Structure 1
Amino acid sequence: MADNSPETGELVTVGRITAVYGVRGWVKVHSFTDPMDNILQFQKWWLRGESGWEPLAIDGGKRHGKGLIVHIKDVDDRDLAARFCQRDVAVSRAEMPSLQEGEYYWHQLEGLQVISRFGGSEHDFGKVARLMETGANDVLVVRGGSDRRERLIPYIPGEFVTDIDLEAGVITVDWDPDF
């Protein structure tokens, strides 16, 4: 039997199954997509298991309150559904929609080197550890660099983020190294 699971680098984590919902195999999903119900548009889901990624078939999904619920195919029991909880959901990078020029997915920015050209000199701030949503704007969480500090830099292209070069793996910012 051939293993058809994708390589880890081919997958993008887009959400997490958090808890069971009801008694008929529905589960709550915390989506990392924006808007949240975009996760339901992906045809093939992968669920993180103990030995890697496993295919996960969904046969229903909808908004419910402030979140999402989905039904796992052939799972019609609350106890069986509980086995899927607290696990990440991913999709193939190839399924991700194309973006406009100058738009990026968070996973494309994570791990990039951040260089500041504040005040005419260059400073190495380290790498993007993650991004976080604050409501007003997204924020780059940058760790490492020459001073080993963690910095929270507003992700505002044209103001604080002056250039993103995916090929070179570098984000250039205009950010005071003392801040």
Structure 2
Amino acid sequence: MDDYLSVGKITSAYGVNGEVKVFPLTDHLDRFYDLDYVYIFEETGKTSLNVETVRFIKNLVIVKFKEINDRNEAEKLKGKLIKIKRDNAVKLDDDEYFIKDLLNMKVYTDDQKELGILKDVLKTGANDVYVVKTDERDILIPAIKDVIKKVDIKERKMTVHLLEGL
């Protein structure tokens, strides 16, 4: 499943024609318009669903899949993650990363002392905040250029400059 990225989570059925409400898990909302199909993973395996229509209501995406035609079928998808193959992901800028690639990465200070492991990414609006688990506690690190000095996805290593008070 490492070749797949989550782009949304189905929160509920919407209406009676099989549409679902999706909470987006991507910063690139327009990418939903480009989806021809997605994957839903369950204990029994993965299912491919063809995207018929996409529209937005407030901060949610309303998706209609060709294979889902009534509310009862749509309700069965509640809580499921919508995934795409990594090959179909949006192209990121040099200073952008998929959250999946950051999780469990080792974090070091700029003087090469191991700080801990990146355990979560909080979406705050202004900037993301990285939750780094140390031996003593969790440290919240703002994902801004003054703090995040280097991210090496291949080496699974992040270098940070801790500002006073962190």
Aligned residue type for 1:126? G
The structure 2 residue matched to 1:65, chosen from 51, 58, 67, is: 58
Q: Which runs of 5+ in 2 are unaligned?
A: none
Segments of 4+ moved more than 6 angstroms: none
Distance in 2 between residues matched to 1:63 and 1:38, nearest whole Å? 12
Give the secondary structure class of the aligned counterpart of 2:2. helix
Distance in 2 between residues matched to 1:35 and 1:122, nearest whole Å? 34
Structure 1 residues 34 and 113: CA distance shift in structure 2, 3 A = same
Give the secondary structure class of the aligned counterpart of 1:9. coil
Partner of 2:138: 150
| CA shift digits 1:78-104 (9 cap, x unpaired) | 111111111111100011122233332
Distance in 2 between residues matched to 1:116 and 1:57, nearest whole Å? 45
How far 1:111 moved relative to its partner?
2.0
| CA shift digits 1:47-96 (9 cap, x unpaired) | 12122332122211111233210112132211111111111111000111
Partner of 1:110: 103
**TM-score for both structures, normalised by structure 2:** 0.89
The structure 1 residue matched to 2:157, chosen from 170, 176, 179, is: 170
Partner of 1:3: none
- Asked whether 1:15 is paired with 2:8, we answer yes
Partner of 1:97: 90
Partner of 1:130: 120
CA contact (8 A) 1:37 1:63 kept: no
Aligned residue type for 2:143? Y
Partner of 1:45: 38
CA contact (8 A) 1:15 1:32 kept: yes
Q: Aligned residues, how many? A: 166
Structure 1 residues 21 and 137: CA distance shift in structure 2, 3 A = same
Aligned residue type for 1:88? L
CA contact (8 A) 1:130 1:141 kept: yes
Structure 1 residues 178 and 63: CA distance shift in structure 2, 3 A = closer
**TM-score for both structures, normalised by structure 1:** 0.83
Distance in 2 between residues matched to 1:92 and 1:160, nearest whole Å? 31
The structure 2 residue matched to 1:83, chosen from 57, 76, 101, is: 76
- Asked whether 1:33 is paired with 2:26, we answer yes
Q: CA RMSD in A?
A: 2.0
Distance in 1 between residues matched to 2:23 and 2:161, nearest whole Å? 33
CA contact (8 A) 1:116 1:177 kept: no
How far 1:176 moved relative to its partner?
6.0
